[in-house]
A and B are shown apart, each in its own frame.
Chain A
Amino acid sequence: MNAPVNSKDLKTGSTRRELVVGATLVGGALLVGCGPGDILAVGAKADFGAFGPFIKIAADGAVTVISKHIEFGQGNHAGLAAIVAEELDADWSKVTVEQAAANAKVYANLGMGVQGTGGSTAIANSWMQLRKAGASARAMFVDAAAAKWSLPAAEITVKDGVVSHAKSGKSAGFGDLLADAAIMKPPETPTLKDPKAFTLIGTDRVRRKDSQAKSDGTARFTQDVQLPNMLTAMVAHAPRFGATVASFDATEARKVPGVVDVFQIPTGVAVVADNTYAAKAGREALKVTWDESKCQKHSSDKLTADYTQWAAGKGTLPEKTPWQAFETRGDATKPTEGQIFEAAYDFPFLAHATMEPMNCVAEIGGGKNKLTFGSQIPTVDQLNTAKIVMTLPGKVEIETLFAGGSFGRRGNFQSDYAVECVHIAKKVGGGRPVKLVWTREDDMTAGYFRPLTHHRVKIVTDKDGYPVSWTHRVVTQTLMKGSPMPTKGVDETTVEGTKGSPYLKATPVVDAQVLLPDLDVPVLWWRSVGATHTAFVMEHTIDQLARKAGKDPVAYRMAMYEKAGATRHMAVLKLALEKAGPVTPGWSRGVAVHESFGTAVAQVAEVKLVDGVPKVGRVVAAVDCGIAIAPNQIAAQMEGGICYGLSAGLFGRVSLKDGAVEQTNFDTYRVLRNSEAPHVETHILPSGNAPTGVGEPGVPVIAPAVANAILALNGQATNSLPMVKA
């Protein structure tokens, strides 16, 4: 889940997301009649050893940091381990990371209230928690040494896992002092370092701990799980969302060597086999007749046409679908004098298209309720599993593995593919392991897309070309459907980025509304969520307004930021431009700036058109993410986020036709390839603020920067994505 939890929310500790997920917990709690923390904790006793749930230290002094967050690419394991190692003064070269078990009581994301990773919160919510854990363990070693050596604790220092007393020349490793330290009382309020004294955080020494395993084939993904007696399953899914199984003929499927069983489950017909290829061959031989009487038959073209009408105030709105205001200022009913700028923008459905298609291993029955997979929100996966197998959520064990990407896809209130695997494993029974494998085609057509979205803006500008009135309409699907609690107020995931924009803040009259038609097309957060479309609309609109006013787009932005008090926007834009230097001859330049998840990012993109297709050569990114913990990984997230956003901006499009998804694999869903990737230079704004996330904020900035470069090149605005039409 790339849920919109920002740093401000983390401080108040109560977020809309928490309320929503909290309601899931209440559902579970009602089921069993006790508190959410208790029912979700695995096992009654929480025996985490002397240094608490986040730190294990071995007899040889080696430090293991327990990560409550899944590592699916964004490098959080490196950052989380570095926070602990910094305060503990551990030897970084000997620090390893281990994945925590599912246990919401101990391992909740403090920004969500449940155990889960997303919304670029892994580092942000863990920052103080892990600093305290590290500092507490360090104090225990200092106290142990002081007692053992009969020396004042204040004179004892720790460096690289070695505890020393300079004057006496005494020193001992963590391993030597382990038994003594383990019986020390942890301090109630451990003393944290002054960030100026950090020796690891913020340095290039903070590198990934998983690069070797991910470079030699030994990193373990769900796809790689092999267990004794394990079966592999594939499922024949409905060709259209909402269709159900009318009947099926498994005669031929059962003849396929290796096929063990064929049976119906809620989402289709499962073929269970001894190995993956047999499951696939079995599924191909299966004949299913689908009942499509109740399924949706949407087409992207018709949806786009409808959304365009509705945003323009024409046509008939769907029932029970009102316009909802999300930002209002001044009196929009009074006509405003000035020049009028109008534009509309269209965004398609997008697939997350992680490299590892969705999959899960489940062992159900015979006293076992275990899932092994890349679980993004273990608490929700526990709850959804518990409902099927009729147990307490805390009795569902989850072993979280590396996941081959998520980008939002694996954080799902329905736990869709995990639940599918649980149904199959339950039917197989006896605790026999079942690995559900989705093919790429399953993955791409099963949905949970970034919703198809339409924006319309009407802006009145003053004599200097600045907005005096801004009318904004968004039509998209809510991402909160299926959440256990009806959303109160506007679903912010649909409008964040337009809502809260400094450009709106700098405009005296604002009338911004969203319409959320209910389509029965499964949609979900997609890396950077609302900003995937709002950042494009705001940033590309601003460039057009600036050019219409005959002003430089950078100066125009700066004037509006000044008015809005958007000092971080100004700082990152200034830094990016400074580092970018003069425009590379032969290239056109575009800039864009956007803040999401508490992190402000500016990008300067150099673009040329090659046979009419945008080629992005160089991107200079500046980022303000508070204190930089792992600069190398912040750069990696800018590089990767830019590729992800550029892939969607140039090529990404899932389309529906008569209810069926037209793209099935990478031959029809084009993604960015190596030769199309820009060279990214990342610059981090020095900051003393608490860290904010970097997994998502680099994503939404690149497409508008590219569109703005094209606008500068030939005056052509980009009013629909992707830029390269199939």
Chain B
Amino acid sequence: MATTLDINGKSVAVSATSETPLLWVLRDEAGLTGSKFGCGIGQCGACTVLADGTPIRSCSVPIASLAGVKIATIESLGGAHALQQAWVKHDVPQCGYCQSGQLMSAAALLASNPKPTDADIDAAMDGNICRCGAYQRIRAAIKDAAGLGDASETAKA
């Protein structure tokens, strides 16, 4: 049974069964491998994409529930999104595996709340684990992209 999904503004016909989590359709069928598999139970956020602008954990959402929903993945940010520029400026990534999910959570935050407080960032970003511990730079880059000042901390020799 084919399902049609709206992924990054394109209508995509997929053949996966309806209970298949979105993540595997994105990665294995649509070839969009930016969204990552980390835990499979919506605990780590590496698979985060937007569904009508709201961040969802695509590893835990079956495609059956996504008819007519606009899905946006990391690939939709285009590479030069203000957040992506800030991510590069602050050298946020270490291993980099969680960063697609981090960026999509951050993108959703800034889309709904252009000037987030630290508490807003806590609430929006706590669902995204980074085992390398790039948290401080993630926070700094979000603030930088939001025009809340360059809070970067680098080494002082």
A and B part of one assembly: yes
Given A216-B84, A635-B153, A641-B133, also A355-B93 (CB < 8 A) = no
Q: B129 near A440 (CB under 8 angstroms)?
A: no
Q: How many residues of B contact A (CB 8 A)?
A: 63
Q: For the complex, what is the distance from the CA of A73 to the CA of B98, rounded to whole Å?
A: 11
State which residues 86-123 of B face A: CB under 8 Å.
87-88, 91-100, 103, 121-122
**Which residues does chain A contribute within 8 Å of B32, judged by CB atoms?**
217
In the bound complex, do residue A74 and residue B35 qualify as a contact, i.e. CB atoms below 8 Å apart? no
Taking a contact as CB atoms closer than 8 A, the residue among A72, A643, A674 that contacts B121 in the complex is A674
Nearest CB on B from A631, distance (A): 4
Give the Cβ gap from B74 to chain A, nearest Cβ, in Å: 4
Cβ–Cβ contact B133 & A677, under 8 A: yes
Q: Are B155 and A684 in contact (CB under 8 A)?
A: yes
Point out the residues of chain B lying under 8 angstroms from A679, CB to CB. 136, 153
Cβ–Cβ < 8 Å partners of A72 in chain B = 95
Interface of B (DSSP majority class): loop
A667 lies within 8 A of chain B by Cβ: yes
CA distance A75 to B133 in the complex (A): 13
B77 touches A216 (CB 8 A): yes
**Smallest Cβ distance from B153 to chain A, in angstroms?**
6
Q: A218-B34, A355-B129 are in contact. Are A405 and B27 (CB under 8 A)?
A: no
A94 within 8 A of B: no
Can you list the 7 inter-chain pairs with the closest CB atoms, starting with the nearest?
A: A217-B34, A643-B133, A404-B97, A214-B96, A73-B95, A73-B94, A214-B93
Residue A407 lies at the interface, judged by CB distance under 8 Å to chain B: yes
Instruction: Give the nearest-CB partner of B25 in chain A.
Output: A277
Q: Is the CB of A75 within 8 A of B94?
A: yes
Q: Told that A213-B96, A666-B41, A677-B133 touch, could you supply 5 new A-B pairs with CB distance under 8 A?
A: A633-B91, A647-B133, A665-B39, A675-B122, A680-B136
Residue of A nearest to B153 (CB): A681
Q: Mark B131-142, 1 if CB is under 8 A from A, else 0.
A: 111111111000
CB pair A210 B93 closer than 8 Å: yes
B-contact 0/1 string along A704-723, CB 8 Å cutoff = 00000000000000000000
In the bound assembly, the distance between CA atoms of A671 and B139 in angstroms comes to: 18
A423 an interface residue at 8 Å Cβ cutoff? Answer: no
Q: Which residue of B lies closest to A407 (CB)?
A: B131
Q: Using Cβ atoms and an 8 Å threshold, which residues of chain B touch A667?
A: 41, 43
Output the least CB separation between B28 and chain A (Å).
4
When the two chains form their complex, are residues A635 and B122 in contact, meaning their CB atoms are under 8 A apart? no
Which residues from chain A contact B139 at a C-beta distance below 8 Å? 674
**Chain A: which residue is nearest B73 at the CB level?**
A217
For chains A and B in complex, what number of residue pairs have CB atoms within 8 angstroms? Answer: 212
Beyond A202-B157, A674-B126, whether A215 also contacts B94 by CB under 8 A is no
CB distance from A444 to the nearest CB of B (A): 9
- Interface pair B134/A666, CB less than 8 Å apart: no
B90 to chain A, nearest CB (A): 8
State A137–B38 Cα separation when bound (angstroms): 43
Q: Mark A213-226, 1 if CB is under 8 A from B, else 0.
A: 11111110101101
B10 contacts partner chain A, Cβ-Cβ < 8 Å: no
Residue pair B96, A686 in contact (C-beta under 8 Å): no
Of all chain A residues, which has the CB nearest B16?
A277
* Beta-carbon nearest neighbor of A671 in chain B: B129
Most chain A Cβ neighbours within 10 Å, of B37, B95, B97:
B95
- A699 → chain B closest CB, angstroms: 10
A73 and B39 CA atoms in complex are apart in Å by 19
Nearest chain A residue, comparing its CB with the CB of B101: A355
- CB pair B157–A631 under 8 Å, yes or no, is yes
**Hey, what's the 0/1 contact readout for A56-92 against B, CB within 8 Å counting as 1?**
0000000000000000111100000000000000000
How far apart are the CA atoms of A218 and B36 in the complex, in Å? Answer: 11
Contact of A211 among B43, B73, B88 (CB under 8 A): B88
Chain A positions 435-476 with a Cβ under 8 Å from a chain B Cβ: 437, 439-441
Residues 640-660 of chain A, each 1 if its beta carbon lies under 8 Å from chain B, else 0? 111110010000000000000
Inter-subunit contact A640/B133 (CB<8 Å) = yes
Kindly name the residue among B36, B103, B130 whose own CB sees the greatest number of chain A CB atoms within 10 A: B130
Among B37, B73, B130, contact of A357 (Cβ-Cβ < 8 Å): B37
Contact check: which of A210, A218, A639, A647 meets B134 at CB < 8 Å?
Answer: A639
**Complex Cα spacing A404 to B155, Å:** 25
Task: Check B94 against A216 for contact (C-beta < 8 Å).
Answer: no
- Selected A-B contacts with CB under 8 Å, 6 pairs: A72-B95, A223-B37, A232-B28, A355-B38, A635-B155, A644-B131
Is B9 close to A, CB under 8 A?
A: no
Cβ of A283 < 8 Å from any Cβ of B? no
Q: Quick check: B135 and A643 within 8 Å, CB to CB?
A: yes
Please, how many angstroms separate the alpha-carbon atoms of A218 and B17 in the complex? Answer: 27
A43 at the interface (CB under 8 A from B): no
B155: which A residues are within 8 A, CB to CB? 628, 631-632, 634-635, 638, 682-684
Chain A's nearest CB lies how many Å from the CB of B17? 7
Q: Provide the residues of chain A in CB contact with B74, threshold 8 Å.
A: 216-217
| A70 CA / B90 CA spacing, docked (Å) | 22
Q: What's the least CB distance linking B47 to chain A, in Å?
A: 11
Q: Is A257 an interface residue (CB 8 A)?
A: yes
For residue A672, CB closer than 8 A to chain B, the reply is yes
User: What is the CA–CA distance of A214 and B98 in the complex, to the nearest angstrom?
Assistant: 9
Contact A639 B100 (CB under 8 A): no
Q: What CA separation (Å) do A643 and B28 show in the bound complex?
A: 33
Residues in B with CB closer than 8 Å to A210 are 93, 96
Contacts of A509 in B (CB 8 A): none
Q: Is the CB of A632 within 8 A of B154?
A: yes
A440 pairs with B96, CB closer than 8 A: no
How far, in angstroms, from A638 to B96 measured CA to CA in the complex?
Answer: 17
* A208 part of interface (Cβ distance < 8 Å): yes
> At the interface, yes or no: A402 with Cβ under 8 Å from chain B?
yes
- In residues 92-116 of chain A, which contact B (Cβ within 8 Å)? none
Residues A640 and B97 in contact, CB atoms below 8 Å apart:
no
A328 contacts B by Cβ under 8 Å: no
Smallest Cβ distance from B19 to chain A, in angstroms? 9
Complex alpha-carbon distance, A543 and B73, angstroms: 50
